[in-house]
Amino acid sequence: MAKQWRKPHIYTPADVQHMLDIARSYPSPRASLRPLSVYTMLLLAYCAGLRRSEVARLDLGDVDLQGGTITIRQTKFYKTRILPLPDTVMAELRAYIDVRRRAGAPQDPRSGLFWHEQRSGRYTKQAVAWLLVDVIRRAG
């Protein structure tokens, strides 16, 4: 049986803005950091072209705020790459990291960038995929 592939869809800038707005206001009564986490995940997936597993594997130490880059480890074909990001994306990452710190997340460079308050650990790639797909669905 042949594998079924989804048809690619190209989002308009308005579509992307709508998804980012939905992510920022994502309902999360028991995890106050989640809306900003989902927003930042979506922003990195879109602006840096990251796969869900790459988003899930990001560590706090992979973000170089001074250099304006993120390091993507264990990518497809087991390579590592360093991606420059626009200043606007770095400003959003800086804000997320600050809120993450104030929420009590571990500051060890090897701790997951996207830290889950309730489980005190990183989001899995399945959780990242579910959250991003849910944002897309909510955006219509």
- Specify the pairing of strand 81-84 against strand 69-72: antiparallel
Tokens 């009564």 belong to which residue? 29
Confidence at residue 138, expressed as pLDDT on a 0 to 100 scale: 94
Q: Residue 121 has which token pair?
A: 């650990």
Out of 6, 7, 76, 110, the active site residue is 76
Do residues 37 and 130 make contact, with C-beta atoms less than 8 angstroms apart? no
Do residues 75 and 54 make contact, with C-beta atoms less than 8 angstroms apart? yes
76 classed as catalytic: yes
State the average pLDDT over residues 8-32: 89
Q: What is the pTM of this model?
A: 0.88
Sequence spans of domains, the chain: 14-24+33-138
Q: Residue 31 has which token pair?
A: 């995890």
Please give the Cα distance from 123 to 52 (Å, whole number): 10
pLDDT of residue 127 exceeding 80, the answer is yes
DSSP letters along 2-69, please?
Answer: PPPPPPP-PPPHHHHHHHHHHHHT---TT-TTHHHHHHHHHHHHHHH---HHHHHH-BGGGEETTTTE
Residue % of the chain over a pLDDT of 90: 66
Task: For residue range 70-108, list pLDDT tens digits in order.
Answer: 999 877 777 889 999 999 999 999 999 999 999 989 999
pLDDT of residue 2 exceeding 90, the answer is no
Out of 24, 51, 125, 138, the active site residue is 51
**CATH number of this structure's domain 14-24+33-138:** 1.10.443.10
